[in-house]
Amino acid sequence: MSAAAQAAAVLGSAGLVALLLAPTRIARLAGLVAWASGLAVLGLYLLPDISRAKLAAAAAGGLVVAIGVALVLGRWPYFLAFATLACIPLRLPVDIGDEKVNLLLPLYAVVGGLALALAWALVRGDERSRELGPVAWPAAAFAGWSSLSLLWAVDVHRGAIFLGAFLLPFGLLAIGFARLPWRGRWLTWLWVGLAGTALAYAAVGGYQWFTRDVFWNPSVEVFNAYAPFFRVNSVFWDPSVYGRYLTVAILAALAGIVLGGVRGWRMAGLYAVVVATWLGLLISFSQSSFVALATGIVVAVAVAWGRRATLALIALGLVTTAVVVAVPQVRDELVGKSRAGVNRITSGRANLVGQGARIALDHPVAGVGVGGFSREYQRRLGIPGKDPKRVASHTMPVTVAAELGVVGLGLLGWLLAGAFLATLRGLGRGFTSRVSLATGVALVAITVHSVFYAAFFEDPMTWALLGLVGLASRVPKKPGGGVPPLPAEPAPRVPEPAPTPTA
């Protein structure tokens, strides 16, 4: 069955590559069929341990929902964005073999509806292609190399989970976002949805903090029982994922503040969103989220205000770091106890990073195959058990280097460089520039967050932002500096090259 999963991964990836790059409608339709076929076989390989009756009922229900989503997308394309936003916290635990995985099951029904809507559009003659623009080639190359690496992977099962549950379905999600029509009003409402949900989740987090009651995750309850502070996770499974979501919402609001073009009560609303959301982020005690937020702020200021403001922020950060290190307890952990102290502060991540680097050096070109980090780490250290959580990787670049080698690391760099250059360069003062800046700094924050928490390609927000990179790159930016604020202006409406009723 492993051979079938490997063949299905290659087939599904070839289909996704065709959807990303093929210039003709027929080739893209064939790619969609290959993508769906590969995913179907991977789904059979990864069937959860539940009864066949429940599986049949779930499949039938998913198909009905997917058809309904496709019909709605035919009339309101932006339903894709709002449905994705609503589904991001909904990770449900599923037993796949001996492993428990939290999967975005409701979002898969949305992706299924997107696939049906895209198929109908292609059948009816939609000729659009390469919607991801500057990131189409690197995204296709990374997806293709990741799937090929399953052929030599040391852990085919975990690699199949990554490809079948994340990379292949969310790759199509990115295409769906890139195909959205450019409508300033709808994009504004999408930001309102992001800010509104972030504020609601922050309110839930505040309730948890005051009542000392967290939801869903028993490990957070155990942590809070022994820690000197109380972490909240709101409606998310993990406090760090909750923190990442609030970080993205803060930076999306910050783009309108630093770039100009917003005045009056709108500007006051942006400040209110930033402050209220930050209070929700504070009680998550997610160190990775605060580092990601700080990096996003520096990048936003650098792009919008220039070098002097950036140097001032960096100087402030260095002073803050010096003050923190001056605290005797912190200095003792970092210096007095050397490596053990650093490893304890990073919750064991230092050991994982060091061993991951050794795995990458021992397999420099092709790595150990997608999904193989945990198995190889376990083998090297002789850790018992099939897949203990303590050997899960938490540092995305190290994981990519270990699993996909220098080739995969280079493709990752190409993808990120293309996305950052497309969104953060040549900005003006108009609505398009604000959308582009918000997209770019949010992607920067997720990238930095993934250095400490991983889950970069497993996060649908990553793929949605890559889709928005393609969407924003097609629209010309209004020239001009962003220093003096301008009167509020209506969002531009750019005619679509070939309007269709699909997503």
Written as one string, the DSSP assignment of 371-418 is T-HHHHHHHHHT--SSS-GGG----HHHHHHHHHHHHHHHHHHHHHHH
pLDDT band at 313 (very low <50, low <70, confident <90, very high): low
Q: For the segment 368-386, what is each residue's pLDDT rounded down to a tens digit?
A: 999 988 888 888 877 766 5
> Cα dihedral angle (234, 236, 237, 240), rounded to 10 degrees?
-80
Question: How large is the average pLDDT for residues 220-237?
Answer: 86
Alpha helices, DSSP H, located in 212-286: 218-226, 239-259, 265-282
229 to each of 294, 343, 428, how far by Cα in Å? 22, 20, 43
Say if residue 2's pLDDT is above 80.
yes
Distance of CA 74 to the CA centre of its chain: 26
Say if residue 241's pLDDT is above 90.
yes
Q: For the segment 194-228, what is each residue's pLDDT rounded down to a tens digit?
A: 999 999 999 999 999 999 888 878 888 888 888 88
Question: What phi and psi values does residue 90 have, to the nearest 5 degrees?
Answer: -90, 70
HSE-up (13 A, CA, CB side) for residue 475: 30
Which of 44-53, 122-131, 237-246 is the least confident region? 44-53
HSE-up (13 A, CA, CB side) for residue 114: 27
pLDDT of residue 309: 66
Pair 23, 120: CB distance under 8 Å: no
pLDDT of residue 51: 67
Question: How large is the average pLDDT for residues 70-84?
Answer: 95
pLDDT band at 321 (very low <50, low <70, confident <90, very high): low
Distance of CA 110 to the CA centre of its chain: 17
Helix (H) or strand (E) run with residue 102 in it: strand 99-103
Pair 474, 455: CB distance under 8 Å: no
The 3-state DSSP class for residue 99 equals: strand
Residue 230 makes CB contacts below 8 A (sequence gap 6+) with: 209, 212, 224, 283
pLDDT of residue 354: 78
Query: Cα–Cα distance between 366 and 442 in angstroms, integer?
Result: 30
> CB count, 10 Å around CB of 361?
10
pLDDT of residue 389: 54
Query: Cα–Cα distance between 455 and 240 in angstroms, integer?
Result: 11
Written as six digits, the tokens of 271 are 């400040």
Written as six digits, the tokens of 274 are 């930033």
DSSP 363: S
DSSP 122: H
DSSP 369: -
Query: Cα–Cα distance between 72 and 77 in angstroms, integer?
Result: 8
Say if residue 494's pLDDT is above 70.
no
pLDDT of residue 348: 52
8 or 498: which carries more pLDDT confidence? 8
Sign of CA dihedral 106, 111, 115, 116: positive
